[in-house]
Amino acid sequence: MNILNYLKGRYFSFFVGVLILIATAIIVYPAWIRKQYEVKELQAQLAHARTYKSIVSEVLHDSSTAVTQPASNIDKHAYKREFANRKLLKELDVKPRDVAAQSDIATHASDSVKLAPRDSVFSYHDKWVQFHFSLRDSLLSYHVRDSLSTFVIREYKHKFLFWKWGTKGYKIKIVNYNPHSKITYSNYLNID
């Protein structure tokens, strides 16, 4: 009993300190892990933001729209680590190391059209869109077509008279032929 009292008096503060240290570690460690995960997520978002360049839109003579955007060059390891859509590539049975370039394009279609009534059926059609609305069935059927052309244009580093040499980078031109739709997002990754 004497020894127990001696140990209590002598090492009590040490045991309390160790218990407080263990409790602090149990509480702080998961928060630290969460912070590390958030930092990695923010780093990935920053890397994506560096490669996604803004697009410049222009209207062509036939009311088609064209957008221009510089291409982003990244190395294969960065692509495999941060940009590869592994789920989609697995579905396509393609390995990330076999991808030479990736292009993502998003369009948005909207317009106002006048429907012509005929026997309780309202309809509209042109080269790109068809709408048929039947009042009897309360059925709206529609068909929308879209057509895009993508051009990868080399930008030269040096020019002298009619000679051009060296590659400064690449520029992407995307033409959307449907006048009802607009390109809202474009990204082209050239993988070195």
Instruction: Supply the DSSP symbol for 115.
Output: P
Contact 79, 56 (CB under 8 A): no
pLDDT confidence of residue 67: 79
pLDDT tens per residue across all 192 residues of the chain: 576 676 666 677 777 788 888 888 888 888 888 888 887 777 766 666 555 566 677 777 667 778 787 777 777 777 777 766 778 778 777 777 777 788 777 777 777 777 777 788 888 888 888 888 888 878 888 888 887 877 777 778 888 888 888 878 777 788 888 888 888 777 777 777
**E strands along the chain, which residues?**
56-59, 65-70, 72-74, 101-109, 116-118, 121-125, 129-134, 139-144, 148-160, 163-176, 181-191
pLDDT confidence of residue 118: 78
- Look-up: residue for tokens 């070195």? 192
pLDDT confidence of residue 162: 82
pLDDT confidence of residue 192: 73
132-156 burial, b at 16+ Cβ within 10 Å, e below that, comes to ebeeeeeeeeeeeeeeeeeeeeeee
Contact 60, 175 (CB under 8 A): yes
pLDDT confidence of residue 48: 60
Chain centre to alpha carbon of residue 76: 18
pLDDT confidence of residue 59: 75
The pair of structure tokens assigned to 71 is: 């291409």
pLDDT confidence of residue 8: 67
The pair of structure tokens assigned to 12 is: 């009590």
Specify the pTM: 0.54
Alpha-carbon distance of 158 to 165, in angstroms, equals 5
The C-alpha angle with vertex 42 and arms to 77 and 187, in degrees rounded to 5, equals: 60
pLDDT confidence of residue 11: 73
